[in-house]
Amino acid sequence: MSRNYDLSDPTDLEVLKSDFEMYSADEWQQMIDYSLEEGNKRMLSYDERGVLMQARKKALYKNHPSPRQMVWALKVADKVEEHKKANKK
């Protein structure tokens, strides 16, 4: 995905919210679980795993974190997805 969002543009903020809502709470949990598996523990930092947990909590309650947190969570989600693809080959 890896988009660049202009956080001062209302249209980009709506796109950001839409991109964030693409992931359900269960999908955020799957990313957290994947990052905690034995071979993947060093893939994410403590803070990156924390932002995934915040994203899961916000998705669970149909809420949105701050725009900066959403951007960060989406970047971490991309990192996890890329890692999954690289390990499948």
What's the mean per-residue pLDDT of the chain?
91
17-47 pLDDT per residue, tens: 999 999 999 999 999 999 999 888 899 999 9
What is the SS3 string spanning 34-80? Answer: HHHCHHHCCCCCHHHHHHHHHHHHHHHCCCCCCHHHHHHHHHHHHHH
Reading the block at residue 64, the tokens are 């949105």
Q: What is the pTM of this model?
A: 0.90
Residue 63 pLDDT grade (very low, low, confident, very high; cuts 50, 70, 90): confident
How many structural domains comprise the chain? 1
In a domain, 4, yes or no: no
Residue 2 pLDDT grade (very low, low, confident, very high; cuts 50, 70, 90): low
In a domain, 47, yes or no: yes
List the domain range (segments joined by +) for residue 29.
10-88
Please, what sign has the CA dihedral across residues 47, 17, 79, 6? negative
